[in-house]
Amino acid sequence: MMAYFTELAQKTVIVTGGSKGIGKDIALTFAQLGANVVISGRNEAKLNEALLELKKFNGNCIAVAGDLSDIEKVKQLIDLAASTFGTIDVLVNNAGVNIAKPAMEVTEEDWDTVLDLNLKSVFFASQAAAKYMLRQKSGRIINIASQMAFVGYVKRAAYCSSKGGLVQLTKALAVEWAKEGIRVNAVAPTFIETELTSKMFEDAEFKKDVENRILLNGLSQPRDISGAVLYLASDLANFVTGETIKVDGGWTAI
């Protein structure tokens, strides 16, 4: 019987925003397969907690604290991963933020906060990682976008803009780097049941609206997103680039 995903053992995998939620689950999935995982995040305590969990599966995993809105921190993260492990095989651009406000209340600072982390930092992380991937003539970049790249929703003008831009950035980089052996794809989740969204779902009306729009029963779990990322990182997706996989329970199908 063919053993899937064994090729990911000892690969160098960077997961931004890897200390909690979707990012942490993605990082754990790779660590369980024997990959050398590098996680980043702003909360050092949470980051260290996550690292302890990763090390149960692979003692080579490391954590790097820093705010990736600072492009110098982005470059330092990538260079540290490369100098530690010698290669960068997979970059998962997961770090992101949303400031939920009616469009008429969004400030310039709000807009910049969302776009700087969700789009600008992803480009420069990809650029920094590609510096190494181009030398190797191989690499996978996987961006965590959102179903909000394809549909609108209230109080998400900046967020929808950032994720729509991310889907287009995914295509642009895929086109430019395809001949160099770098595959660039994205995963677009719906609302995920995590500690980050639990406060949002305290609003019963909002939770009901979300559940009514998702055709499959219940809310998505982090593992649903990790599965799509794992596929794109593996040899199973060798002929896939420039694609965004929606993991939205059918939200955008209607």
The total number of structural domains in the chain stands at 1
Active site residue 132: no
Q: Is residue 184 part of a domain?
A: yes
Active-site option among 4, 132, 153, 159: 159
For the entire predicted model, the pTM comes to 0.97
Q: Is residue 252 part of a domain?
A: no
Instruction: Tell me whether residue 229 is exposed, middle or buried, using C-beta atoms within 10 angstroms of its C-beta: 0 to 12, 13 to 18, 19 or more.
Output: buried
Which pLDDT band, with edges at 50, 70 and 90, does 234 fall under? very high
Which pLDDT band, with edges at 50, 70 and 90, does 199 fall under? confident
Q: Is residue 250 part of a domain?
A: no
Q: Is residue 48 part of a domain?
A: yes
Q: Is residue 53 part of a domain?
A: yes
pLDDT at 1: 54
Q: What is the CATH number of the domain that holds 56?
A: 3.40.50.720
Q: Is residue 198 part of a domain?
A: no
Provide the domain limits for residue 17.
Answer: 10-193+222-245
Residues 168, 54: Cα–Cα separation, whole Å: 32
Which residues lie below 8 Å from residue 19, measured CB to CB, with a gap of 6+?
A: 39, 41, 43, 46, 47, 49, 50, 63
pLDDT at 166: 98
Task: Over range 160-178, report the average pLDDT.
Answer: 98
Which pLDDT band, with edges at 50, 70 and 90, does 94 fall under? very high
Task: Over range 106-130, report the average pLDDT.
Answer: 98
pLDDT at 54: 98
Task: Over range 10-38, report the average pLDDT.
Answer: 97
**What are φ and ψ of residue 253, in 5° steps?**
-75, -25
Q: Is residue 3 part of a domain?
A: no
pLDDT at 217: 85
Q: Is residue 213 part of a domain?
A: no
Please check the confidence at residue 7 and state whether its pLDDT lies above 70.
yes
What does the CA dihedral 110, 111, 116, 122 come to, rounded to 10 degrees?
120
Task: Over range 159-178, report the average pLDDT.
Answer: 98
